């Protein structure tokens, strides 16, 4: 190791040590908090009550159904403001419509410099609330989620993962490229990959026009995606039916991709197909 590289490495180590000494801990890694257990809430009470550490990029994915016989006040709130806040939310009689609308709103949102997350909605019986929130905590922040008033609901669990982003890429030559998205049940993933941002894309090897389509593999699906700054969604599409999403003229070496977040109310995976137009 040269003297210069040794000095750079030493500065990097000292910087990490200094950060640890000042804060007591290194900054928390970005984390997805998955609130879906139980999905169907049959008794009044608390779904989640915990502290989110300071300086953490946190995403909250919640999807719950009111299975009591009466309208109930559903609450999800953080007791401190966050930076770079993004929000997507919808309540509906149909779980998939609530999930798709929340994802669409979230993908269309741009981060606000600072904001407070306080959701209070009177949720009708058999109606679903689905939401995606994201931001960066400034201080230790209490997260509270509940339906009506009562103690902690038996079996209520907040799952967490640091898997906020999944990327899958292929090289498009003469034959189509098919990429399977979401539905991953491997260790470290939320079952189904709900709440995680997914990118699927290809690199073109020649000039031409690329067609992009999707096919639900887990069951029927409203597919919500973002491409080239625009957010769109398909009609309700039955399992194994192929739907065209968009086409794009490309040059050799150009990338074509889309962004999506698996939404509550629908099963996954979904296949994305890239092919040169004949």
Q: Is the pLDDT of residue 142 over 50?
A: yes
Find all residues with CB under 8 Å of 74, minimum gap 6, and list them. Answer: 64, 66, 119, 120, 121, 122, 123, 129, 146, 147
Query: 182 CB contacts (<8 Å, ≥6 apart)?
Result: 166, 192, 193, 194, 196, 198, 260, 262, 268, 269, 270
**Greater confidence, 127 or 163?**
127
Separation of alpha carbons 262 and 270, rounded Å: 9
Structure tokens, 276? 């040169």
Q: Is 12 exposed, middle or buried (0-12, 13-18, 19+ CB in 10 A)?
A: exposed
CATH number of 31-161: 2.60.120
**195-248 pLDDT, tens per residue?**
999 999 999 999 999 999 999 999 999 999 999 999 999 999 999 999 999 999
Domain with CATH 2.60.120 in the chain: 31-161, 165-276
- CATH architecture of residue range(s) 165-276: Sandwich (2.60)
127 contacts 160 by C-beta, under 8 angstroms: no
pTM: 0.86
Given a cut of 70, is residue 38 above it in pLDDT? yes
pLDDT digits (tens, 9 = 90+) for 43-55: 999 999 999 999 9
Spatial neighbors of 272 by CB under 8 A, at least 6 apart, are 178, 179, 180, 181, 200, 212, 213, 214, 245, 258
């Amino acid at each position: 190791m040269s003297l210069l590289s040794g000095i750079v490495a030493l500065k990097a180590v000292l910087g990490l040590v200094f950060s640890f000494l000042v804060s007591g801990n290194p900054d928390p890694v970005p984390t997805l908090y998955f609130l879906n257990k139980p999905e169907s809430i049959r008794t009044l009470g608390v779904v989640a009550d915990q502290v989110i550490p300071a300086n953490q990029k946190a995403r909250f994915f919640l999807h719950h159904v009111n299975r009591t016989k009466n309208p109930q006040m559903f609450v999800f709130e953080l007791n401190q403001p966050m930076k770079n806040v993004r929000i997507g939310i919808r309540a509906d009689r149909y779980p998939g419509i609530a999930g798709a609308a929340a994802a669409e709103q979230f993908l269309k949102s741009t981060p606000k410099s600072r904001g407070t997350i306080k959701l209070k909605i009177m949720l009708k019986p058999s109606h679903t609330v689905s939401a995606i929130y994201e931001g960066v905590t400034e201080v230790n922040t209490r997260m509270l989620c509940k339906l009506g008033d009562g103690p902690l609901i038996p079996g209520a669990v907040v799952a967490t993962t640091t898997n906020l982003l999944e990327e899958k890429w292929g090289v498009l030559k003469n034959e189509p490229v098919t990429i399977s998205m979401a539905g991953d049940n491997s260790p470290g993933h939320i079952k189904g990959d709900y709440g995680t941002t997914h990118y699927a894309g290809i690199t073109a090897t020649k000039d031409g026009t690329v067609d992009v389509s999707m096919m639900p593999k887990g069951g029927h699906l409203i597919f919500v995606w973002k491409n080239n700054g625009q957010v769109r969604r398909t009609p309700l599409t039955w399992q194994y039916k192929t739907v065209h999403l968009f086409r794009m003229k490309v040059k050799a070496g150009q990338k074509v991709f889309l962004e999506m977040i698996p939404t509550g109310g629908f099963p996954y995976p979904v296949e994305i197909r890239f092919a040169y137009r004949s």
